[in-house]
Chains A and B, each alone.
Chain A
């Protein structure tokens, strides 16, 4: 298994390299940040000087070579717009995004599994049908709109929750988190729910489909014939067998929640990485864009690996090895 993990990690280095090259060339093709950030009163000499100062007058291959050299030494460059190291910029925003994504995934799992099980066990009941209808709404309503509606209802009309922003943070092992204070939780509830909605619907539907399929299997009939209690049949035999696809999806979705929390972060002015990447794309802040995407790719690589490992634990038939042939 160790050899497998090491080989996977080596492969990912190639992925990271190709990724950085693509992003570098892509941003270069669009333009440079001086065109966007330069003051209107600047004349041609100022513009030339700014472009030279940032090293953007050099040929693309040379710029990329300099980047690569520094990147191998662990320096992903300084942000053009913020004038601080790009990596620092991203890492300081990461806890906020991770907190939001984790809260959203927890909501999705904690609500999604039981609701999905219920809908799978009692598909013809009113509750079962209501859950499925609700999940269709969760799938199809745009996050952006739902977010604004939540704010209108819970902040503007009812005044129960703050409309945006992150609450006060406390440091836990050097990482600032906001879920430890009541005010922090009040700020977290709405954006987390908004972000969770889509994942929640996904988990409900997956769980329901898996449950309905599993109920028809021989081992369930056998378990019932043996006279096991309903709780044990559902809680152990059904649940454990339907978890494999759900774990895959949860793993991948966790990555996408982190990478694409942008909409929710924008609507709720949540100071996370998503807002940073949007701002950086707007001003073509290449070091930040490249560093952000490298970090996200790394994250996906690790999540995929973790999912594979989790597989092998849940299903004894799965062996971690490269496919042959």
Chain B
């Protein structure tokens, strides 16, 4: 142990001179990895591992802006056709060249995995035809103009057709079929315990600093922090806010933080009839639904002291939200301000809306999904009480919460959202619910605004990125003025690590071993 402590700085010094110095990195991950198959289920822990082994056509940088991946360039040929050119000389870890055949195979594969509880077909379904022009050029056609193809393909990992044809989950887990072009190769997957990676020497990008990486799965917050403090891990993700001060004050460690793309907000049931759980304060039914009145929504938004929540509940690991998407994200409107805290104004608005005495509602939240989620719910309930709205908190584990929430059983429900762009977030969260067109799938409040619908649909069909951002921002401005949801804050993602390490903190909250560097 002492030897190790002495060797570490030595190795770090050597690394600067010779990148060949053997080095290990042990990272504590916060959630269980269920499969190495990168097309099986679209959940963050699995994708996080897949990004070490595979590449996609397009990548995103730490600010979630699109950058070249396996494709060195892409362009719209016409309004429904996209052309992608592969980087020449890109190789899989078995030495074979990455070709457009592999790309076509990888785009087809998600639809063949029919038992996935979270399929990747969302991103492949818009592509109705593929044309392999040559070994390095492929054209993808969509049924209607669709601007999101390059973004969607960021979620489709490119696997080797030779290795993955007919492969089962077990083949990927054993490493036999897990052949990709990413910076690392799979050494061992011990389910529920760790993923061991070794450097892929045929990787073309900047060589990672670590020969061997161990991703330890330590979902318990306390255990993850103590493992770092004890020196059993070099870095951890998702530092609990209660421990931030402690890690910050220990000179052996340092923190890297960044505003994440996850925005926390409350949805409000805005259908015409008063929802179950919303009554007057005596428990008697109301004659109309208060949440359908924009003045009530504005009053509730004004009643929330976002700065206090950020400082007291989140220990600074959040920033008050003015947009549905975080500042770094495409479509964010810089000019908007978070709703100011104004109890008097809120009371006045409630009275104008015909609820001078307030009313009672159920306020639901998960208690193990977002940072400090149940404490936030309790705080918001207290704040609402000051303007006369009696909110009864229902905090549930996520397994019980999400099915009920998706079934629209809660009049007021907490939700957290991360998205590549403002127009995408609005499509899922604020457009009029329309199952046939796939709009408003997560619009739990059933908010509707035909003007907003038109703008967002137009943005998503605009292939020119500059024009699209303008339309997306106009849509965001329109939506935020109407308050389809009550915004709270954007979470701040935190990594803790040994003092000698550096990490370019990412907006998308991913933890990439190859982006950790020795000082």
Residues of B within 8 A of A (CB): 1, 32, 34-35, 37, 40-43, 114-123, 125, 169-170, 173, 190-194, 216-220, 222-223, 226-227, 229-232, 368, 397-400, 402-404, 406, 417-419, 424, 428, 435, 438-439, 441-442
Given A43-B441, A282-B398, are A162 and B41 also a contact pair (CB < 8 Å)? no
* Neighbour of B1 across the interface among A45, A159, A268, A282, CB < 8 A: A159
| CA gap between A275 and B190 in the complex, in Å | 14
Of all A-B residue pairs in the complex, the 7 with the closest CB atoms, nearest first, are A31-B403, A43-B438, A155-B230, A271-B193, A44-B435, A37-B118, A163-B230
Give every chain B residue within 8 A of A50 (Cβ-Cβ): 116-119
Is A164 located at the chain interface by the 8 A CB criterion? yes
Docked complex: A25-60 residues within 8 A CB-CB of B: 30-47, 49-50, 53-54
| Contact of B193 with A34 in the complex, beta carbons under 8 Å | no
Give every chain A residue within 8 A of B399 (Cβ-Cβ): 30-31, 36, 281-284
| Contact of A269 with B220 in the complex, beta carbons under 8 Å | yes
Q: Return B209 CB to nearest CB of chain A, in Å.
A: 24
| Contact of B223 with A34 in the complex, beta carbons under 8 Å | no
Give every chain A residue within 8 A of B170 (Cβ-Cβ): 84
Q: A37-B117, A45-B435 are in contact. List 8 more A-B contacts (CB 8 A).
A: A50-B116, A78-B115, A82-B35, A83-B116, A83-B169, A93-B192, A155-B226, A282-B397
Give every chain B residue within 8 A of A275 (Cβ-Cβ): 32, 192, 219
Look across to chain B and name the residue whose beta carbon is closest to the beta carbon of A282.
B399
Q: Return A160 CB to nearest CB of chain B, in Å.
A: 9
* Neighbour of B115 across the interface among A40, A41, A83, CB < 8 A: A83
| Contact of A43 with B122 in the complex, beta carbons under 8 Å | yes
Is A165 located at the chain interface by the 8 A CB criterion? yes
| Contact of B43 with A164 in the complex, beta carbons under 8 Å | no
| Contact of A81 with B41 in the complex, beta carbons under 8 Å | yes
Give every chain A residue within 8 A of B435 (Cβ-Cβ): 43-45
| Contact of B122 with A82 in the complex, beta carbons under 8 Å | no
| Contact of A148 with B119 in the complex, beta carbons under 8 Å | no
| Contact of A54 with B226 in the complex, beta carbons under 8 Å | no
| Contact of B223 with A159 in the complex, beta carbons under 8 Å | no
| Contact of B193 with A148 in the complex, beta carbons under 8 Å | no
| CA gap between A82 and B118 in the complex, in Å | 12
Look across to chain A and name the residue whose beta carbon is closest to the beta carbon of B43.
A37
* Neighbour of A49 across the interface among B119, B219, B229, B417, CB < 8 A: B119
Given A31-B403, A83-B37, A271-B190, are A53 and B226 also a contact pair (CB < 8 Å)? no
| CA gap between A208 and B8 in the complex, in Å | 52
Q: Return B89 CB to nearest CB of chain A, in Å.
A: 32
Given A42-B118, A53-B115, A155-B230, are A36 and B223 also a contact pair (CB < 8 Å)? no
Is A89 located at the chain interface by the 8 A CB criterion? yes
| CA gap between A281 and B227 in the complex, in Å | 25
Q: Return A251 CB to nearest CB of chain B, in Å.
A: 28
| Contact of A151 with B230 in the complex, beta carbons under 8 Å | yes
Is A199 located at the chain interface by the 8 A CB criterion? no
| CA gap between A156 and B223 in the complex, in Å | 11
Q: Return A72 CB to nearest CB of chain B, in Å.
A: 22
| CA gap between A268 and B169 in the complex, in Å | 28
Look across to chain B and name the residue whose beta carbon is closest to the beta carbon of A82.
B34
Given A37-B118, A162-B230, are A269 and B218 also a contact pair (CB < 8 Å)? yes
Is A152 located at the chain interface by the 8 A CB criterion? yes
| Contact of A268 with B32 in the complex, beta carbons under 8 Å | no
| CA gap between A91 and B385 in the complex, in Å | 51
The main secondary structure of chain B at its interface with chain A is: loop
Q: Return A266 CB to nearest CB of chain B, in Å.
A: 5
Look across to chain A and name the residue whose beta carbon is closest to the beta carbon of B37.
A83
Q: Return A164 CB to nearest CB of chain B, in Å.
A: 5
| CA gap between A38 and B405 in the complex, in Å | 14
| Contact of A39 with B42 in the complex, beta carbons under 8 Å | yes
| CA gap between A171 and B419 in the complex, in Å | 46
Give every chain B residue within 8 A of A79 (Cβ-Cβ): 34
| Contact of A269 with B118 in the complex, beta carbons under 8 Å | no
Is A276 located at the chain interface by the 8 A CB criterion? yes
| CA gap between A189 and B324 in the complex, in Å | 49
Give every chain B residue within 8 A of A39 (Cβ-Cβ): 42-43, 118, 120, 122
| CA gap between A276 and B37 in the complex, in Å | 19
Q: Return A227 CB to nearest CB of chain B, in Å.
A: 57
Q: Return B317 CB to nearest CB of chain A, in Å.
A: 21
Look across to chain B and name the residue whose beta carbon is closest to the beta carbon of A276.
B192
Q: Return B239 CB to nearest CB of chain A, in Å.
A: 16
Is A166 located at the chain interface by the 8 A CB criterion? yes
| CA gap between A255 and B40 in the complex, in Å | 35
Q: Return A284 CB to nearest CB of chain B, in Å.
A: 5
| Contact of A148 with B114 in the complex, beta carbons under 8 Å | no
Given A36-B402, A81-B34, A159-B1, are A165 and B216 also a contact pair (CB < 8 Å)? yes
Given A31-B404, A269-B218, are A46 and B119 also a contact pair (CB < 8 Å)? yes
Look across to chain A and name the residue whose beta carbon is closest to the beta carbon of B229.
A156
| CA gap between A68 and B465 in the complex, in Å | 54
Give every chain B residue within 8 A of A53 (Cβ-Cβ): 114-116, 119
Is A292 located at the chain interface by the 8 A CB criterion? no
Look across to chain B and name the residue whose beta carbon is closest to the beta carbon of A275.
B192
| Contact of B232 with A155 in the complex, beta carbons under 8 Å | yes
Is A213 located at the chain interface by the 8 A CB criterion? no
Is A267 located at the chain interface by the 8 A CB criterion? yes
Give every chain B residue within 8 A of A36 (Cβ-Cβ): 117, 398-399, 402-403
Give every chain A residue within 8 A of B190 (Cβ-Cβ): 271
| Contact of A42 with B122 in the complex, beta carbons under 8 Å | yes
Which residue, of B35, B193, B397, B439, has the highest number of chain A Cβ atoms within 10 A?
Answer: B193
Q: Return A163 CB to nearest CB of chain B, in Å.
A: 4
Give every chain A residue within 8 A of B222 (Cβ-Cβ): 148, 267
Q: Return A29 CB to nearest CB of chain B, in Å.
A: 10
Look across to chain B and name the residue whose beta carbon is closest to the beta carbon of A150.
B226
| Contact of A54 with B218 in the complex, beta carbons under 8 Å | no
| Contact of B438 with A159 in the complex, beta carbons under 8 Å | no
- 1/0 per residue A266-306: CB within 8 Å of B? 11110100011001011110000000000000000000000
| CA gap between A41 and B398 in the complex, in Å | 18
Q: Return B235 CB to nearest CB of chain A, in Å.
A: 15
| CA gap between A292 and B70 in the complex, in Å | 42
| Contact of B218 with A30 in the complex, beta carbons under 8 Å | no
Q: List 13 A-B contacts (CB under 8 A).
A: A38-B118, A41-B122, A42-B118, A43-B122, A44-B435, A46-B122, A53-B116, A80-B115, A83-B116, A84-B170, A151-B223, A164-B226, A283-B399
Give every chain A residue within 8 A of B32 (Cβ-Cβ): 275, 279
* Neighbour of A159 across the interface among B216, B231, B402, CB < 8 A: B231
Q: Return B125 CB to nearest CB of chain A, in Å.
A: 8
| Contact of B417 with A40 in the complex, beta carbons under 8 Å | yes
| Contact of A92 with B37 in the complex, beta carbons under 8 Å | no
Give every chain B residue within 8 A of A282 (Cβ-Cβ): 368, 397-399
Give every chain A residue within 8 A of B41 (Cβ-Cβ): 37, 81, 83
Given A44-B435, A82-B191, A282-B398, are A152 and B217 also a contact pair (CB < 8 Å)? no
| CA gap between A190 and B125 in the complex, in Å | 51
| Contact of A164 with B218 in the complex, beta carbons under 8 Å | yes
Look across to chain A and name the residue whose beta carbon is closest to the beta carbon of B170.
A84
| Contact of A44 with B441 in the complex, beta carbons under 8 Å | yes
| Contact of B403 with A35 in the complex, beta carbons under 8 Å | yes
Q: Return A315 CB to nearest CB of chain B, in Å.
A: 42
